[in-house]
């Protein structure tokens, strides 16, 4: 690992398995229920805070909130917030009940209580799986769905950004249910962390109940979405279990449903004709007319949504229908359930029943995507010169990177006295999210090195936090030291020596951690604060050794192993100079 006390961001030699790092999802619970008032019943260990920054206290008695007015507290402003930690039973004004084990933030807006839960990815996947499948699919189909619901949620994190949360708990996003069946738990655990990836980005993995034998092209449903893995194609697996449906609607039912959704159609209409269809045969636009003239065009999806809201979502199950008219009634004869884009749950279940694996199911419904826990399919462009290879995407020019990297490598070679045995490879990601998803590092990590491969955040971001060339210099120096380090060399020594030899050492932190505590903090990497402290102490430990024994002795120990007294800590002092000015802590740490 490596760290610089001058930079804001950490840099790491990552040894653990890669996995995309995602913060908890901020999900609005009870999004389709009446929350003008709610009743909260705490468990034994629940705690409550009466504002966002107040300390928590035991939450022991049931309370009823109404616009954040309760019998235990009165919070006057609309921006007030109650925070609850621990298992809590919640009942809405319309009688819907669920339990939450997640941290809750409850606020009020126009008399409506907003309940936002912070849900970890795997728990979110389990609740979405339960809500969308009830666990009633074959095992491999459930595994495919687990990957799909994670991918969809990840790609849609900004769906409700203007509402101050990320996702809701209804079918508008994904339907959540808290009582998880064993089959769902098994599928989620078997695919832990896995997402669908396309060109290094989580795939927008749509799914639906039944495609009616034809998967739909995404642009025919949502014209603004472009995804080459969401194209139209036949689904022979769904065909084998195809079921038709019929729905009869009166003219007044259709008029009222459209009016409630704010859709205007001409007075006196008495005909509905499918004016255009998609390539798969689904209705795209409908013509409402009196039988003479062009009438008014309404999209089929608009009608289905309006009727679904007014009369139930099973009334018009899809846009895959023919219309038969008799007087003032309209008979819709159709097949399929849902929009038809992405994974067909009926077809996926049939594939699993025929022995197909979840990966085969995903490959059929999302061709060209890759399943993985870290970003896959990144469109790298390779630029190679003597001793150095730079990988960028089309968004990132290589010329400036080469100049910075060559200078950094040259300086690192001089500082360490080690000549690289083979060329380095530097991968510069075009975005922080892609770097995080590919390397598994949290956002406060600037770069990650494995062997001769250095991966970095966008250089524009690194320049804001100390300079891209300096960060690359540190990466090269650390990689050179690692190339000659004896097996089992303690992490604190490798990291501290890297700081010292690359010219970044301050050696001024108090030795408030033992050697084992330093290594533990570096391996766990729980937070930027704990890492900063661990690196600062390792820096001071090695700085004290350098003053006592000299640079060459430390390099010899790196190659041949530490003496027993140094490894145990008995022979190590600590440089105890005054702390940095200001708040008494190093102001930057990498």
Whose tokens are 């009438």? That residue is: 295
Closest CA to 505 of 468, 486, 478, 467: 478
SS3 for 127-155 is HHHHHHHCCCCCHHHHHHHHHHHHHHHHH
The CA distance from 26 to 253, in Å, is 37
Tokens of 403: 């100049």
Spatial CA neighbour of 355 closest among 210, 137, 143, 140: 140
Domains assigned to the chain? 10-18+379-568 (3.30.2010.30), 21-119 (no CATH), 244-335 (no CATH)
**Tokens at residue 517, please?**
């505590």
The span from the CA of 285 to the CA of 579, in Å, is 71
Helix residue ranges per DSSP H, 227-321: 236-239, 251-260, 300-311
The strand pair at 167-168 and 25-29 is best described as parallel
Q: Is 282 helix (H, G, I), strand (E, B) or coil?
A: coil
**Per-residue model confidence as pLDDT tens for the chain (590 residues):** 343 333 334 554 444 445 566 789 999 999 999 999 999 999 888 999 877 677 888 998 898 888 765 544 444 334 478 899 999 999 999 999 999 999 999 988 888 999 999 999 999 999 999 999 999 999 999 999 999 999 999 999 889 988 889 999 998 899 999 999 999 999 999 999 999 999 999 999 999 999 999 999 999 999 999 999 999 999 999 988 768 999 999 999 999 999 999 998 887 888 899 999 999 999 999 999 887 667 889 999 999 999 998 998 899 999 999 999 988 899 999 999 999 999 999 999 999 999 999 999 999 999 999 999 988 889 899 988 777 899 988 777 777 788 888 888 998 899 888 888 888 999 999 888 888 888 887 777 788 888 889 998 888 777 665 578 888 888 888 889 999 999 889 988 988 888 888 766 666 667 778 888 888 888 777 677 888 888 888 888 888 888 889 989 999 999 999 998 888 876 676 655 444 333 333 322 33
In this prediction, residue 254 carries a pLDDT of 94
Q: Which two tokens stand for residue 353?
A: 């029943």
pLDDT of residue 293: 66
Distance CA 427, CA 390 (A): 6
201 pairs with which residues across the strands? 198
- Residue 579 is predicted with a pLDDT of 41
Q: What residues does 58 pair with on adjacent strands?
A: 47
**Residue 383 to residue 376: CA distance in whole angstroms:** 20
Concatenate the DSSP letters of all residues of 395-447 into one string: TS-SHHHHHHHHHHHHHHHHHH----SS-EEEEE-SSHHHHHHHH---TTEEE
């Amino acid at each position: 690992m490596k760290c610089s006390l001058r930079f804001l961001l950490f840099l790491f030699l990552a040894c653990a398995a890669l996995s995309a790092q995602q913060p908890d999802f901020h999900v609005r619970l009870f999004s389709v229920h009446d929350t003008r008032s709610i009743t909260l019943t705490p468990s034994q260990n629940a705690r409550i805070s009466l504002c966002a920054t107040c300390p928590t206290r035991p939450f022991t008695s049931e309370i009823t909130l109404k616009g954040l007015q309760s019998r235990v507290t009165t919070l006057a402003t609309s921006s007030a917030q109650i925070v609850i930690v621990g298992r809590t039973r919640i009942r809405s004004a319309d009688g819907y009940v669920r339990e939450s084990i997640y941290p809750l933030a409850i606020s009020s807006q126009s008399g409506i209580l907003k309940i936002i839960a912070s849900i970890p990815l795997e728990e979110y996947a389990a609740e979405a799986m339960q809500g969308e499948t009830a666990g009633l699919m074959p095992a491999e189909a459930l595994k495919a769905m687990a990957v799909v619901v994670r991918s969809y949620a990840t790609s849609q994190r900004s769906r409700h950004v203007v509402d101050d949360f990320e996702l809701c708990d209804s079918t508008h996003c994904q339907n959540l249910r808290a009582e998880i069946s064993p089959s769902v738990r098994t599928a989620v655990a078997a695919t832990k962390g896995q997402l669908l990836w396309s060109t290094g980005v989580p795939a927008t993995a749509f799914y639906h109940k039944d495609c009616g034998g034809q998967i739909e092209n995404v642009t025919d449903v949502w014209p603004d979405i472009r995804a080459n893995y969401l194209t139209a194609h036949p689904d022979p697996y769904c065909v084998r279990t195809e079921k038709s449906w019929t729905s009869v609607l009166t003219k007044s039912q259709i008029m009222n449903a459209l009016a409630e959704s704010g859709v205007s159609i001409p007075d006196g209409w008495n005909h509905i004709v499918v004016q255009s269809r998609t390539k798969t045969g689904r209705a795209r636009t409908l013509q409402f007319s009196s039988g003479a003239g062009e009438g008014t065009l309404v999209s089929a999806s608009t009608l289905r949504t309006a009727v679904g809201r007014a009369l139930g979502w099973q009334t018009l199950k899809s846009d895959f229908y023919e219309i038969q008219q008799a007087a003032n009634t309209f008979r819709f004869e159709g097949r399929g359930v849902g929009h038809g884009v992405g994974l067909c749950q009926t077809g996926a279940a049939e594939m699993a029943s025929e022995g197909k694996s979840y990966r085969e199911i995903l490959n059929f419904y999302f061709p060209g995507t890759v399943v993985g826990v870290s970003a896959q399919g990144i469109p790298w462009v390779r630029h190679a010169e003597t001793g150095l290879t730079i990988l960028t995407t089309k968004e990132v020019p290589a010329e400036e990177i080469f100049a910075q990297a060559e200078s950094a490598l040259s300086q690192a070679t001089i500082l360490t006295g080690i000549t690289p045995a083979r060329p380095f490879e530097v991968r510069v990601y075009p975005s922080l999210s892609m770097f995080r998803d590919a390397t598994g590092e949290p956002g406060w990590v600037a770069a990650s090195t494995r062997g001769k491969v250095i991966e970095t955040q966008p250089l524009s971001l690194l320049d804001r936090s100390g300079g891209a060339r300096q960060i690359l210099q540190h990466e090269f120096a650390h990689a050179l030291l690692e190339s000659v380090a004896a097996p089992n060399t303690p992490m604190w020594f490798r990291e501290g020596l890297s700081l010292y030899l690359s010219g970044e050492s301050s050696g001024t932190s108090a030795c408030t951690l033992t050697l084992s505590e330093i290594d533990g903090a570096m391996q766990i990497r729980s937070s930027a604060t704990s890492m900063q402290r661990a690196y600062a102490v390792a820096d001071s430990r090695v700085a004290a050794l350098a003053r006592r024994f000299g640079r060459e002795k430390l390099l010899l120990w790196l190659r041949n192993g530490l003496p027993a007294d140094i490894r145990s800590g008995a022979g190590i002092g600590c440089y105890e100079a005054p702390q940095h000015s200001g708040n008494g802590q190093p102001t930057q740490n990498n």
